Amino acid sequence: MTIKAYGAHAADRALEPIDITRRTPGAHDVQIAIAYCGVCHSDIHQVRSEWGGTLYPCVPGHEIVGRVSALGAHVSGVQVGDLVGVGCIVDSCKHCEDCDEGLENYCDHMVGTYNAPTPDAPGYTLGGYSQQIVVHERYVLRIRHPEAQLAAVAPLLCAGITTYSPLRHWKVGPGQKVGVVGIGGLGHMGIKLAHAMGAHVVAFTTSESKREAAKLLGADEVVVSRHAEEMAAHAKSFDFILNTVAAPHDLDAFLTLLKRDGTMTLVGAPATPHPSPNVFNLIMKRRSLAGSMIGGIPETQEMLDFCAEHGIVSDIEMIQMDEINTAYERMLKGDVKYRFVIDCASLA
Ligand code: NAP
Ligand code: ZN
């Protein structure tokens, strides 16, 4: 099947219309007519080869929602017409320890939704800035939100699970003080989720313009991290900090805000390394610095169900497909509250 998509032909080229092909659904495949696709900062890193190794043409997009449009003969659990989602994973080995535990995100053979090896043409995966996608049933998520919220559900497939998984792993809950650093696509979901889990949430932003807005997301307090005296008021007080910042920055400024035994988990994946933190800021209070990558498929379903139950969706700005290059420039300036979502009907 040949379909319309948007992709880049080189790291320094803008995204433009491109025709791509999708495989005919196999016995365990689900074909999805994509309604909306969220725009993750990882899409920018990848399409511009900031992490290296990008294959061109590159079609990004891993926050995919839509309706099942065709099914393989042996698919169970979804039917044509169902609302479904696909996140950052479209395949994995299915038999290693990680896959057995539902942690496909840590499988050594995880296949990302774009730029990962596949037998399908052109030899690597092409993402959700497109009209249709074909995915093995294991990696297809059920959406239980009302259909009217579908576009705002899309960012949960990456921004939602990438923040939900570490909040759960480090057992965030009532009685805890939790920081979320960087109020972009990931960070705004981190605030909503940590708030729904019952924590006292402090948002850290570099943008004065987000000071009041972050409170509407569920932050109990907001700190503009450029102001040293505001930072100092929170020294040694946090149980957990989730750091979503997409650029290298001073980690010590946040490590010193952790109390004894506190953890800061990095999910932001900047193109160049952070300056090394001062080891004494870890040693002195037995603090931990950790990382986390998206989440497994069962936990992604758990997150979607948690969000449906708590009425949680992303705050989005809808764009047409041909507005994507402007959207990237605005994201790099921090100028989006808080996630762009592409109306994929605009590809027609
Ligand atoms: P985003 O929407 O662009 O938000 C990033 C936020 O970081 C910005 O809104 C800004 O928040 C802050 N920021 C950006 N540049 C900064 C700078 N130079 N100094 C200080 N703060 C800065 O990006 P996103 O989609 O949330 O993604 C964030 C990062 O997570 C990206 O690197 C992405 O690749 C990565 N990611 C990782 C995973 C994973 O599995 N670990 C999954 C998805 C994405 P303020 O305006 O509030 O300061
Ligand atoms: Zn992402």
Rg of the chain taking only CA atoms, in angstroms: 20
**Domain boundaries along the sequence of the chain:** 2-158+315-347, 160-291
Q: Where are the beta strands (DSSP E) in the chain?
A: 2-7, 16-21, 29-38, 64-71, 83-86, 89-91, 111-112, 132-136, 141-142, 177-181, 200-205, 221-224, 238-243, 258-266, 288-291, 316-320, 339-343
CATH topology of domain 160-291: Rossmann fold (3.40.50)
pLDDT of amino acid 50: 97
d(CA 165, CA 169): 6
Bridge partner list, 139: none
Show Cβ contacts of residue 73 under 8 Å, excluding neighbours closer than 6 positions. Answer: 27
- C-alpha pair distances (Å), 32 with each of 29, 142, 237: 10, 12, 46
d(CA 3, CA 22): 8
Ligand 1, atom 35: closest residue by C-alpha: 268
pLDDT of amino acid 110: 98
From the alpha carbon of 269, which atom of ligand 1 is closest? 32
pLDDT of amino acid 149: 98
Which sign does the torsion angle of CA 181, 42, 197, 308 carry?
Answer: positive
From the alpha carbon of 339, which atom of ligand 1 is closest? 2
Residues with CB under 6 A from ligand 1: 40-42, 45, 158-159, 162, 182-187, 205-207, 210, 244-247, 249, 267-270, 292-294, 331, 334
- 294 alpha carbon to ligand 2 midpoint, in Å? 8
> Would you state the CATH architecture of domain 2-158+315-347?
Alpha-Beta Complex (3.90)
Q: 156: which 2 tokens?
A: 């949960």
pLDDT of amino acid 89: 98
Residue 91 phi, psi dihedral angles, 5° rounding: -170, 165
- Residue 170, Cβ density class (10 Å: 0-12 exposed, 13-18 middle, ≥19 buried): buried
pLDDT of amino acid 255: 98
Bridge partner list, 181: 204, 243
Ligand 1, atom 34: closest residue by C-alpha: 42
pLDDT of amino acid 67: 98
pLDDT of amino acid 104: 98
pLDDT of amino acid 208: 92
From the alpha carbon of 206, which atom of ligand 1 is closest? 48
Q: Which ligand is nearest to the CA of 204?
A: 1
pLDDT per residue of the chain (348 residues) written in tens, 0 to 9: 999 999 999 999 999 999 999 999 999 999 999 999 999 999 999 999 999 999 999 999 999 999 999 999 999 999 999 999 999 999 999 999 999 999 999 999 999 999 999 999 999 999 999 999 999 999 999 999 999 999 999 999 999 999 999 999 999 999 999 999 999 999 999 999 999 999 999 999 999 999 999 999 999 999 999 999 999 999 999 999 999 999 999 999 999 999 999 999 999 999 999 999 999 999 999 999 999 999 999 999 999 999 999 999 999 999 999 999 999 999 999 899 999 999 999 999
